[in-house]
């Protein structure tokens, strides 16, 4: 590994690539509108722009696009993984495949793993309309587990679709973190990250992470000032080695997230675990 971890102050486990370097096209307007209305700004950056943003802040970040069958995304897995490799000092590139593609999703995951240094895969049950514990998708998890890659799953309610007519057709039921209890039990070597404070199912997320050694929680997608008390309590104690810094950038900038995080009663000895060392352990960089 060529990463200088001593020069890095934090590792953001959750950022999105929403603009392609090919032609400057951004994410579909509906997605931008959802984030823009909630967070007050446009949501669009290329991989090199994300890399420079984090390099200036002495941070690394996991970044990805989200593959949703039936929609057009100007950013491809190949672009994220290729450019991520060019900025490997700060970028940890993940792939994304919509499990509903069936055997094609398995084939694509294998292709990406054989072609690039893929550190993990991002799944978004709410946008991809699937229950994570549906056994039809187990062949895909088998490929990821055998590769040693990490699986990040969106959980709970975040800005996507919020305030839009009918929630933009998105259904929160798919993102209840209890569904991952089955996945974690059936794939005990698969490292699973439950992304976001899992509103309104925070207790379920905490229970799964406590019960299953291969399950972690990232703190992205919500302002720290709205973190449920039980999440803060567990991050400080029972789950202090399994909670990860994440912003959902560019929805949240790292500096703004950290300003709000500083206001939480996080123990001084726990703060560096969440911001950096837990991620190092998760990736096996020690």
Q: What is the pLDDT of residue 2?
A: 67
Write out pLDDT tens, residues 121-177: 999 999 999 999 999 999 999 999 999 999 999 999 877 777 888 777 788 899 999
Q: What is the pLDDT of residue 167?
A: 76
Q: How big is the CA angle at 279 (ends 273 and 281), to the nearest 5 degrees? A: 90
Q: Among the listed ranges 75-89, 118-132, 167-181, 233-247, which one has the minimum average pLDDT value?
A: 167-181
Count of structural domains within the chain = 1
Q: What is the pTM of this model?
A: 0.93
**pLDDT(27) > 60:** no
Write out pLDDT tens, residues 178-198: 999 999 999 999 999 999 999
State the CATH number of the domain containing residue 18: 3.20.20.140
Mean per-residue pLDDT of the chain: 92
Q: What is the pLDDT of residue 43?
A: 59
State the residue range of the domain holding 262: 5-283
- Within 10 A of 173 (CB to CB), how many other CB atoms are there? 10
Residue 36 pLDDT level (bands cut at 50, 70, 90)? very low
Write out pLDDT tens, residues 89-114: 999 999 999 999 999 999 999 999 99
């Amino acid at each position: 590994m060529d990463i200088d971890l001593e020069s890095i102050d934090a590792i953001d486990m959750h950022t999105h690539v929403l603009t392609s370097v090919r032609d400057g096209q951004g994410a579909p307007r509906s997605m931008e509108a959802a984030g823009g209305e909630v967070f007050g700004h446009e949501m669009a950056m290329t991989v090199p722009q994300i890399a420079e943003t984090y390099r200036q802040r002495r941070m690394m970040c996991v970044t990805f696009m989200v593959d949703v069958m039936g929609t057009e995304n100007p950013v491809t897995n190949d672009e994220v993984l290729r450019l991520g490799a060019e900025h490997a000092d700060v970028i940890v590139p993940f792939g994304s495949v919509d499990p509903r593609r069936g055997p094609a999703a398995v084939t694509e995951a294998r292709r990406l793993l054989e072609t690039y240094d893929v550190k993990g895969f991002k799944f978004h049950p709410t946008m991809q309309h699937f229950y994570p514990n549906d056994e039809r998708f187990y062949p895909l998890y088998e490929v990821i587990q055998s590769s040693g890659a990490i699986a990040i799953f969106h959980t709970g309610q975040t800005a996507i679709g919020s305030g839009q007519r009918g929630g933009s057709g998105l259904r929160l039921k798919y993102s209840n973190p209890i569904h991952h209890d089955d996945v974690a039990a059936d794939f005990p070597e698969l490292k699973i990250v439950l992304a976001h404070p899992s509103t309104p199912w925070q207790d379920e997320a905490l229970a799964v992470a406590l019960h299953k050694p291969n399950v972690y929680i990232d703190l992205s997608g919500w302002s720290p000032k709205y973190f449920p008390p039980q999440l803060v309590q567990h991050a400080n104690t029972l789950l202090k080695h399994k909670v990860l810094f994440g912003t959902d950038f560019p929805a949240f900038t790292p500096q703004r997230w950290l300003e709000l995080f500083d206001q939480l009663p996080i123990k001084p000895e726990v703060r560096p675990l969440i911001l950096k060392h837990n991620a190092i352990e998760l990736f096996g960089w020690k």
